Each structure stands twice: as C-alpha cells, then as structure tokens.
Structure 1
C-alpha cells in the first residue's frame, strides 16, 4: 500500500485541510498520515481563527513520521508563517522527501487570508523550489507572479513567471474562470491546457486541498506529472458532481463518491 503524508492545517467541519486530504488518500486506497501545522476554526461559511503550532513541535511530528513510516509522496497545504516553513524545509531535506506537491494556500475558498504576508517570501525562496509540482489558484498565481490573473492568457503569463522561481511544474487552476474550469499545467517550457466543465454547484469548499492530495496519490503510484494531474482533475470533477449539500455556506465535496 502506498503511504501518503499531508502537512497542513485542520478543518473541524471536515471539508478542507488535513481532513479533506486524509479522505482523498482513503478514497484512492492509500495509507494517509498527517502532520498538523495549524488548528483552524473554520466551516463552510469561513475562517474565524487560526492557532499555529510551534515549529519545534511540527518538527517532532515530522520526525515521528519519517523515522517510522516513510511516505511515498507528500502534500503540503496551509503554512501560515515563515518559521513553520523553515522547519518543514529542513526536515524535507534531512529525510530526502520525494514526490512533493505544494498547494500554496494563501487564501481560502471563502476569501479569508491564511498566510502572513511575511511568509510569502520564505515560501517562494525556500519551499517551492523543493516541490515536484505546485498548484496555485488564480488569486495565488497573482500573488506569486505579481501580475493580474483574470483569463487564460494571464494564466500562461503567470505560469512562465512562477516557473522561473521553482524547479518543478506549475498547475494554475482555472476554477475562477468565467465560462469554464480549465487548468493550465506549465512544465518543461510547455503549456498543457486541461479542459474542465463548469459544474453548477456552489459547494466547492476544499477543492484545492482535494486536488493537490489526489495529485500526490498519483505520483506515489508512479504516474508522471501530466497523468497525475489529469486523473486528479477527473476525481475532483466527480466529487463536485456528486452534489453533496451540507452546511450554510460553500459546502464540502463528496470525497468518497467512488465507494
């Protein structure tokens, strides 16, 4: 059985963060493990508070995982400050982490900021270069590239700028495009557009967490980057189409719709 590790924050309502990641791992019949970076008070209507765990304790969690059950792939989500980023980078290098997927969670689906502004520089300079693939949405691509990202042309321009900052691939997610949900995978100097239909369903809480976790699963199973993204996008589309309707805001997906 492939072993997956998520390093991220929590969601007590179960739709995003660590909880969404573990559900995604289970849905793909892999063994999920988790290192918690922050405890988040959030639900389908938004985030009300974030409490970061100490970098030292996060480091101890990482030691516990890597020295016992070595992960075949690693998904990294919410990291709110630079000290946490640095300890994660240190441990990934120490244990030679592989198949690293970074979802640069800077803002939640509900529009709440989840990363301190001082952490962005550290994220770009120290963590993103370790990733095999990063998965920013259009808003996060704007923050990383320092340009406006409103359409497909902007997505391509932003991807080329971000590509210069990292060694891996860039997946700019087009979930906020007006008439479609096409994603752009930029890799080895080439653009790969992955078509996606616009699904009429307001319940999209945790889509970014779910997609990045599914990509990590597929990398662990030996798929290449393009195939991993294509399969993950198909899984995510099904989870949205399943039509789960919970909560008073943007509800969660049905991660286990295939079971």
Structure 2
C-alpha cells in the first residue's frame, strides 16, 4: 500500500517549497496576492495579477472575498471562510516557489488572522491595508484594523497605506507630505521594515513618502489629468511584491514600482461610469512594440539618405530629426528618434547614429503634446522653413504658424507651449507647425504625420524632392 500523502503545510505553517533550479530568464519569480476580487477587473486580485505580470512575475492568488463591484462602487461582498483563505495560501506555497506576497482586502479580523497564520514568516510581504474602497465602501472593520496592527504590520517588508489608512493606523493627521513622512516613520517604529505612505489624496502634485532601512525618500510626480485611477493602490503594492519576488531590496522594489506606476497612470482606460481602471499592460505593450518601431524609422531615414543633395537644403543648421511614437507611447522618453540627428553632407544627408528610444527631447515633447489631442499622429520631423518649403506644405494641408515671442515666461517648456498653442482650436494635427524663431533661436517647421513614412513623404515634399 502506498504511504498516505501528508501535506507539509498541515504540520508546518512556515513551510515553503524547497528551492529548485530555475532558469530565471524563462521562469519568472512567483508572487502571491491575498486579496478580494473586483468583478470589473480594475482592482483587487485582477489588478494584482496584471501588475505582477507587467513586472515580470508569475502571479498566484488566495481570494479573501468575492465582490460585486464596478467603477462606481461595491454593490456587495461575500467573504471567503477564513479556513479556506488559509487553505489557498498553503496550497500555493507548498507547491510553487513563492518568493514574495502581498495582502490587500482582508475584510475582518478572522481573515487577517488566517492570512497571518498561513503566510510563511520568511516570505517578503507587502501589506496594503485596504480599509475603505475609493467609492467609500468599508472593506475592513474595526476589529480587523486592530488585528492588522497586531499581526501584519510587524511582518511587513513594505507597508503601503494611503493617507486615510495612514491616519487610521497611526492616529496622526496627514495633510501634507511632511505629515506623510512622519506617519511613515511611525509605522516603521510600529514594526514594518519599510513604510510607503502614498500621497495621491493630498492637494498638489502627489508625493509618496518612503521610510525604510536605507533611509527616507520622496517619490514625486506631476499630477496626471485623468479620472482613471481605479485600483492604483492595488497596482502599486502588487508591483512592489513582484519586485521583491525578483530579489530587490525594499527601496529598489518601491522605486521600480513607482516608475511603473508613473508609466501606467497616463494610460487610463475610459471604461465605466466612475473612475476607470489603469491599463496595467499598456507600457509593456509599448516596450514590446519599440524594436519594430525603431526598424521602421530606420528604414524611412534611409529614404532621406538616398534622396541626394536636394534634400540637404531642407536641413536646418541644428540638423534634422525624425521622431516616432510606438503604439501606446505617451511620454517623450518612450519615443524613438535618430541619435545625433541627420546632418547635411556634400552629397545629401546622413544620420549621425542609429535609431533609439529617447534620442530626441524637443521633437518628442512636441509630438506628445500634439498626441494628447490627436493620438492618430505618430511621427514628426523638423525642416528649414523656407518660403518654397512652406508653400509646398500648404498645398497638401494646413500649416499653422506660432510666434515664439509670445511664449509666457512661466510656460512648462517651449515644445509643450508650441503644441498647446498649435492645437488650441483643433482636433487633428496640421501638416506642419511653423515658427519664425526668436532671439538666438533658429526658425523651424515641424512636419507631422500618422506614420514615419508619411512624415518622410512630407519632408521630401518640403524639399522639392521627387523620389525615383
């Protein structure tokens, strides 16, 4: 008779599966989320698993509650029995090489206790103390808050409360970034290895306050003009857990997760009646599409290099560049362009370098500003605005003129201002935006198109070049 199978987790609550030989490139680290569901997919377990995947971790889950929920609010919640919460955790950690975990919605003291008992004490743990949903629904009762203080704060590798949760856990008023930093200190003194108090609910640009074994750090970002913020707390904490699973220390994990959130927030999805969800895999898809975008742009730059000496007259003194937005790109550093620009030679133009992400700042900022209004515009190039060139561009579409002497001193930047001015009464990008320069600034025409090929076509038209 075969011996009866004994699950080691039945007798050893701190049991984890033995380390295995794993090809890290082919087998991502495993992270576990212990949280509730969100039937709309924007928060809870659904958000956690997508964020973990985006950060190159294999996500696993133990469900604490099933909610009927959408962007407008939580309609109902059905708690999972505590024993079943614990069983899910033990089932995963006894078989898979879980390298980090996070807790989210736990609901009450019984489920806090169940999670605390079942999670191996050696496991790096992100504690997201989900108390109140963004809609206002209460997700952790008073006894649960006390249990979380007693059982999970001291287990936390990183604790990630928002302002309201930090106030509840510390008894401290949090109204400023300095208050958030003080609350993070309190939470570290309460036992957390590191605390990150997120400041998105404070006035002004968001500042997240981190206090950990490495010291104190502020994570600052410009406030993104978006209503799609559903599940951002879940997303951040899950990303931190994924980074910890990959071997990062607390500060490095938080920094990587914050950078991921910076790229994710502008990619909100326009779904639902309330705050929409973020697009967890949007930046990942942009990254995946970038090599192909570089190849397309390099091929189109080759057309300019083969066009002969006539195209050289279209090159400004500062050189010409062509910038292209890969699918989904929304930040200047996500656009690809020619390294070192294109320069005039005796026989035509030549690229000074290859094509790479982040190779242009000015054109990339301009294109991003235009794409905020017209996302179908994918590419831009700068040319010398001779009268003949501008006349040729006028023959194929609208040419908008801006006067850089009117740029206010407090403008965010010349290219941001140029984009906003050129698009102020438009829904589609013009063929070109022309400025006559300013003191110490060369006159310039910037040509737009829905692809790199379309922009190169227009550069050649501006130069009066007929391709063979």
Scaled to the shorter chain, the TM-score interval is over 0.9
SS in 2 for 1:193: strand
Unaligned segments of structure 2, at least 5 residues: 1-27, 286-468
| Cα distance in 2, alignment partners of residues 97 and 189 from structure 1 | 20
Question: Hey, what does 1:58 align to over in structure 2?
Answer: 85
Among 182, 206, 225, which residue is 1:157 paired with?
182
Question: Hey, what does 1:228 align to over in structure 2?
Answer: 253
Structure 1 residue 105 displacement after superposition = 0.3
Unaligned segments of structure 1, at least 5 residues: none
Residues 142 and 223 of structure 1, relative CA distance in 2, 3 Å threshold: same
Structure 1 residue 189 displacement after superposition = 8.2
Structure 1 residue 234 displacement after superposition = 1.3
Structure 1 residue 219 displacement after superposition = 1.1
| Cα distance in 2, alignment partners of residues 157 and 182 from structure 1 | 13
**1:22 aligned to 2:42?**
no
**1:117 aligned to 2:142?**
yes
**1:206 aligned to 2:231?**
yes
Among 173, 176, 182, which residue is 2:198 paired with?
173
SS in 2 for 1:158: helix
How do 1:33-72 and structure 2 match up within 5 A?
Answer: 33-72=60-99
TM-score by length of 1: 0.95
Structure 1 residue 246 displacement after superposition = 0.7
Aligned length: 257
**1:84 aligned to 2:121?**
no
| Cα distance in 1, alignment partners of residues 59 and 216 from structure 2 | 32
Moved more, 235-244 or 212-221: 235-244
| Cα distance in 2, alignment partners of residues 190 and 63 from structure 1 | 34
Question: Hey, what does 2:271 align to over in structure 1?
Answer: 246
SS in 1 for 2:230: coil
The answer to whether the 8 A contact 1:125-1:165 is kept is no
Moved more, 8-17 or 228-237: 228-237
SS in 1 for 2:173: coil
TM-score by length of 2: 0.54
| Cα distance in 2, alignment partners of residues 47 and 168 from structure 1 | 32
Residues 63 and 152 of structure 1, relative CA distance in 2, 3 Å threshold: same
Structure 1 residue 29 displacement after superposition = 2.7
Cα deviations by residue, 1:3-60 (Å, 9 ceiling, x for unpaired): 1110000000000000000111121232111000011111100112111111111111
The answer to whether the 8 A contact 2:207-2:220 is kept is yes
Structure 1 residue 97 displacement after superposition = 4.3
RMSD: 1.3
Q: Higher RCO, 1 or 2 (CA under 8 Å, sep at least 6)?
A: 1
The answer to whether the 8 A contact 2:99-2:124 is kept is yes
The answer to whether the 8 A contact 2:47-2:231 is kept is yes
| Cα distance in 2, alignment partners of residues 253 and 39 from structure 1 | 21
| Cα distance in 2, alignment partners of residues 141 and 116 from structure 1 | 15
Question: Hey, what does 1:102 align to over in structure 2?
Answer: 127
